[in-house]
């Protein structure tokens, strides 16, 4: 039993906290969203903005901007939660 406890203690010290990992995962998702926004801006046809693939690209851009805002709010709430503890 002592070996199992020491092993779990060792693992818990080597693996960063969930909040630390979640912070970087959200930053990675935000960078992916920004890259997708750039791809969708390149798909826009500014002559026919509300026709064909341009509408899909506009919807994707708006959805990705909303996702970025939600992730930033999530990061802010996690940092407030850490400071309050």
Q: How many domains, the chain? A: 1
- The answer to whether position 3 is within a domain reads no
Q: In the prediction, which pLDDT does 8 show? A: 55
- The answer to whether position 12 is within a domain reads no
Q: What are 3-31's pLDDT values in tens digits?
A: 555 555 545 555 566 666 788 889 999 99
Q: Report the percent of the chain where pLDDT is more than 70.
A: 76
Do the beta carbons of residue 82 and residue 22 sit within 8 Å?
no
Q: What is the DSSP string of 36-60?
A: HHHHHHHH--SSSTTSTHHHHHHHH
Do the beta carbons of residue 40 and residue 57 sit within 8 Å?
yes
- The answer to whether position 4 is within a domain reads no
- The answer to whether position 71 is within a domain reads yes
- The answer to whether position 8 is within a domain reads no
Domain that holds residue 50: 17-79
- The answer to whether position 2 is within a domain reads no
Q: How far apart are CA 33 and CA 15, in angstroms?
A: 27
- Residue (of 11, 30, 34, 12) closest to 75 by Cα position: 30
């Amino acid at each position: 039993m002592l070996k199992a406890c020491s092993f779990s203690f060792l693992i818990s010290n080597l693996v960063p906290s969930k909040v630390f990992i979640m912070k970087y995962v959200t930053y990675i998702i935000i960078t992916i969203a920004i890259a997708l926004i750039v791809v969708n801006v390149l798909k826009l046809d500014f002559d026919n903005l509300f026709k064909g693939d341009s509408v899909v690209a506009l919807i994707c851009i708006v959805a990705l901007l909303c996702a970025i805002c939600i992730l930033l709010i999530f990061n802010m709430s996690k940092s407030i939660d850490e400071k309050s503890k």
